[in-house]
Amino acid sequence: MRQVRNSIVVAIAVITGIIILVGYFIELPVLKNLRIMLLHYAVIFIAVALIVGVVNLVQVHWKKFQNRQPGGVYSLILIISLLVTIIVVGYFGPTSTPSLWIFSNIQIPVASSLIAVLTVVLTYTGVRLLKRGLNLFSFLFMATVLIVILGTVSFQGFRIPGLSELRTWITQVPAVGGARGILLGVALGTIATGMRILMGSDRPYGR
């Protein structure tokens, strides 16, 4: 019975994938309508998955608080904050003054703090790269970082001659070329992953 159920699940995934893929490339009205209908279903599933995700988040943090794991108090604060936000936004509406107050005075400062910490960590990461041992590639990496930073800023209106042009050349020629090469690889990898799922040989959704 389980085998039959698994085969049905794989068949649904494969057929849906093929309809969406072919419908994307070929403009047939029947295929187009079917594709749009399936995509609408997908949007509903994604919205439900979002709710499931929030429930899972609460489950994980409640368990952490109950088991008195390190940082359990923060988990309780997270759950209380989540409930307060849901009640406030649900009662007053997402664009009301209390909802916007939460957004402007809690969420934005917390996100900004994370970005601030990230700036420090990125600087430290650069130093750690040099500490790991300087080779040709790490030297090129750090030299490029320095040229791009120094070529972007000016010191009291003074710019090092030629550095800005060198920065422009680096960001527009070798950096773009390299990025495109990597993105081509990523695109091929994404196609390969999609093809394996379409063929049913890769099943990232259970058995």
Partner 1 sequence: MNYVYLLYIVDSGILGLGFVLIFFFMMIISAIIVRRRDEPLLREIPTYSKLKRSINLSVESGQRLHLSLGSGGINYMQGGSALAGLSLLKRLYRMAGLSDRPPVVTSGDGTIGVLSRDCIRSVYEEVGVREEYEPTSGQVSGLTPGSYIAGTLPVILDQQVSTNILMGHFNSEIALLADASERRGSLTVAGSDNITAQAVGYASTEDLLVGEELYASGAYIQASTMHVASLHAQDFLRWAIVAVILVAGALKLAGVL
> Residue 172, interface with partner 1 (CB under 8 A)?
no
> Residue 81, interface with partner 1 (CB under 8 A)?
no
Q: What letter does residue 205 receive in the DSSP assignment?
A: S
Per-residue binding letters, 53-72, with partner 1 (x by CB under 8 A): xx-xx-xx--x-----xxx-
> Residue 194, interface with partner 1 (CB under 8 A)?
yes
52 and 31 in contact (C-beta within 8 Å)? no
Match 């058995």 to its residue by tokens: 207
**Residues in 6-45 at the binding interface with partner 1, rule: CB under 8 A:** 21-22, 24-27, 42-43, 45
Which of 171, 177, 180, 164 lies closest to 144 in space, CA to CA? 171
* Terminal alpha carbon distance of the chain: 13
Which of 79, 73, 45, 74 lies closest to 59 in space, CA to CA? 79
> Residue 111, interface with partner 1 (CB under 8 A)?
yes
> Residue 126, interface with partner 1 (CB under 8 A)?
yes
> Residue 116, interface with partner 1 (CB under 8 A)?
no
Three-class secondary structure of residue 155 per DSSP: strand
54 and 82 in contact (C-beta within 8 Å)? yes
Binding segment for partner 1 (CB under 8 A), chosen from 28-36, 90-98, 159-167, 189-197, is: 189-197
> Residue 193, interface with partner 1 (CB under 8 A)?
yes
Three-class secondary structure of residue 107 per DSSP: helix
Footprint on this chain of partner 1 (rule: CB under 8 A): 21-22, 24-27, 42-43, 45-46, 48-54, 56-57, 59-60, 63, 69-71, 74, 110-111, 114, 117-118, 121-122, 124-126, 128-129, 132, 141, 179, 181-186, 188-197, 199, 201-202, 204-207
